Structure 1
């Protein structure tokens, strides 16, 4: 079977050495030595400051909302976001008492359309939560300008954008915060984990308190907090994966480029920002119709090949996320009905990728 994705497993020998150190120190959590090492190395690798490791990507979003003071309000609060994303982007907002005000996407880049944002702003709007979809950079200048004019916070969900540079610098530098997911199937992972990159040091310091129950000393509690800390065991996995990041990336690039060459005539490919690098985290393909998509899924499944509908359905259609600011998002709904992501991970052979291409060509 060829799954849609598979976790990258680094050198077991190296991982065991890190685990031996954990046993020697008997320090499993609470900002241990490996968490500190991984924080420093990721800041260097990504070219950012004010990075905070957390237990997962969903908590990264929730902590960012709280640290930037857009959640936990008594009055109705809204944040403008995209309906074409993983459910956690929006469900984490609603979990924090912030209603997701869905605004449609650009039909080519598949990211939030800046031209539609201003008309969606209301007196209840506190923030913008755009997503760098599949790692493709949003129109960050336009979004940041709108936020500045309307005094709104910007939290970029950058879960797919690990290692992406924009105009020569990390894409994660844009916004008041950018969040990352280090889930097992991500380009870089810690098994489970995530991170937040803050623009301001003071927001980082506040978030540090929040992820440790608000505790700042033996008898001091300064924030309403939660437990969102990353453990030493997860940091050990991250350090090993980071050591092998380049070989991992090169293997994915080979598969991604084969798909790109072979599938251009078969459907719509994402229009990539000309200013952003490509991290080859996903290979999405939008087919002509949902009927064609379902036919292709059946053909692939018949050959033990699993593709997946990322992202379906369009989140504005989910009952759990309905709100007073609900509206139709035609571009997102249309795309969600006809898009799949193809298998992409280290270990797919050239013959396997060509087999997938041939099967898609037989349908599309």
Structure 2
């Protein structure tokens, strides 16, 4: 079935959604509608916007009626009038950076919200990774995953460390603990796993391996804001965890990041490293860099925290709608959770099997022609980029699971104000390529 052109409004004759009074309502879409209404109420949107959320064929669905392209994500922003007073205060005080009042307040509120001991804010997650690696005094080799955004391994190279790639678990696409020990050598100093798509690694197994071999563990938790496992934050595992607050993340400060650690002494060291290594006005104690978060970013983060739970509920409803709609589509596998008791629904990856009618890349192009822009997260593998491909561990035959995932994955659009009619249209397009 050919999908409707992306610049057309949803058609009340049923091409976008059944409009019959007697038609049964899909439970996933019903949940989506209910949470969409609540999200609209929390954001204090106009009555017209609320009506559009309740009626999927309403002209209020601006993404559909205007024919705007639908990208894999869109940054959530709170009402500007709630941010403006904080900005005015910055203009009045002229405190722009260097651990100002909003910076300090955001660190405290994030500690409480996430349930972690220490939070050190940074200007972005890549800087945070580099600072975190430096704080642990690492050298030699670090075992990591080839299936991630390239910044994970770039931080190792910037730190003078050699990545050693290990294959991923076929069910979770996270670093496979069963393969880690075979990669450990006398030069290994740490393990750098990634909570891919926000699904936690097998943290207990990884931490046990690290203790056995006296290795440090730093988790790239860029996707894992708010994720909990066995009643506690997944950020509390390992020696350090690093968060991203980039514009596309579940919680954003435009740009930003944070290092989570267990003790005040480590945080004090990290705070010095992200401020050129300064310890007071005239003393420099380490080779630091400028990794501080500005007051502007921290102010936005303070307001964003007021909406993160509502945004999470919307993501959860969209996730449920995708799963219900794609459940019976042959050749489509929706990635399941990996043991978290609180997920954050940061991404919605599907993996296409050999019994799907067309290739992953063909579906990607078909969706783009329909105004939908998914992403092949993560393709190609990090190990296939020129600065890594000559490493012995980068050989494709050593990484069969990661290589297969990179060739079959497609992340579908998911963000809080994604219209339910668009979600339904994406499902139909995948079901009828």
Name the TM tier (shorter chain).
over 0.9
Tell me, yes or no, if the aligned pair for 2:217 and 2:240 is still in contact at 8 Å: yes
Are positions 1:32 and 2:100 aligned together?
yes
1:188 Cα deviation from its structure 2 partner: 0.1
User: Which residue is 2:30 aligned to?
Assistant: none
Task: Indicate which of 155, 159, 164 corresponds to 2:218.
Answer: 155
Q: Secondary structure at the match of 1:300?
A: helix
Distance 2:284 2:241 in 1: 26
In structure 2, the residue matched to 1:303 is 370
Partner in structure 1 of residue 65 of structure 2: none
Quote the residue 1:317 is aligned against: 384
CA drift of 1:305 comes to: 0.6
Residue in 2 aligned with 1:99? Answer: 162
1:218-274 CA-partner distances (Å, limit 9, x unpaired): 211111110000000011111111111112112211211100111133312223123
Alpha-carbon spacing, 1:286–1:325, altered in 2? closer, same or farther (3 Å): closer
Specify which of 183, 187, 193 is matched with residue 256 of structure 2: 193
Aligned residue for 1:241?
A: 304
**Residue among 342, 347, 352 paired with 1:282:** 347
Larger radius of gyration: 2
Tell me the distance in 2 between the aligned counterparts of 1:276 and 1:121.
31
Q: 2:322 matched to 1:270?
A: no
* Cα pair distance change 1:295/1:324, threshold 3 Å: closer
The Cα of 1:204 is off from its aligned counterpart by: 1.4
- Which stretch of the first structure deviates more once superposed, 199-208 or 2-11? 199-208
How far 1:54 moved relative to its partner?
0.1
Counterpart of 1:87 in structure 2 is 150
Q: CA deviation at 1:202?
A: 2.1
Contact 2:200–2:339 at 8 Å: present in 1 too? Answer: no
Gaps of at least 5 residues in structure 2 are 1-68
Q: The residue matched to 1:39 in structure 2 has which SS?
A: helix
Show the counterpart of 1:350: 420
Q: 1:265 to 1:99 in 2, by over 3 A?
A: farther
| Distance in 1 (alpha carbons) for counterparts of 2:269 and 2:171 | 38
- C-alpha displacement of 1:158: 0.5
* Structure-2 residue corresponding to 1:215: 278
Distance 2:410 2:210 in 1: 32
**Residue aligning to 2:191:** 128
Between 1:339-348 and 1:28-37, the stretch displaced more is 339-348
Contact in 2 for aligned 1:308/1:341 (Cα 8 Å): yes
Q: Secondary structure at the match of 1:221?
A: coil
Q: Number of residues paired by the alignment?
A: 358
- Give the whole-Å Cα distance in 2 for the aligned partners of 1:253 and 1:276: 13
Aligned to 2:268: 205
**Cα offset, 1:324, TM superposition:** 4.2
State whether residues 119 and 259 of structure 2, in contact with CA within 8 Å, keep that contact through their aligned partners in structure 1: yes
Tell me the SS of whatever aligns to 1:163.
Answer: coil
3-state SS of paired residue (1:216): coil
Aligned-pair distance for 1:179? 0.3
Partner of 2:89: 21
Task: Report the secondary structure of 2:164's partner residue.
Answer: strand
Alignment match, 1:43: 111
Q: Which residue is equivalent to 2:56? A: none
TM-score (ref. length: structure 1):
0.96
Q: Could you say what secondary structure the match of 2:120 adopts?
A: strand
d(CA) in 2 for partners of 1:89, 1:148: 22
Paired with 2:327 and 2:211, the residues of 1 have a C-alpha distance of 39
Give yes or no for contact 2:98–2:292 (8 Å, CA) kept in 1.
yes
How far apart are the structure 1 equivalents of 2:387 and 2:136?
A: 25
TM-score w.r.t. length of structure 2: 0.81
**Aligned structure 1 segments of 4 or more residues deviating by more than 3 angstroms:** 324-327
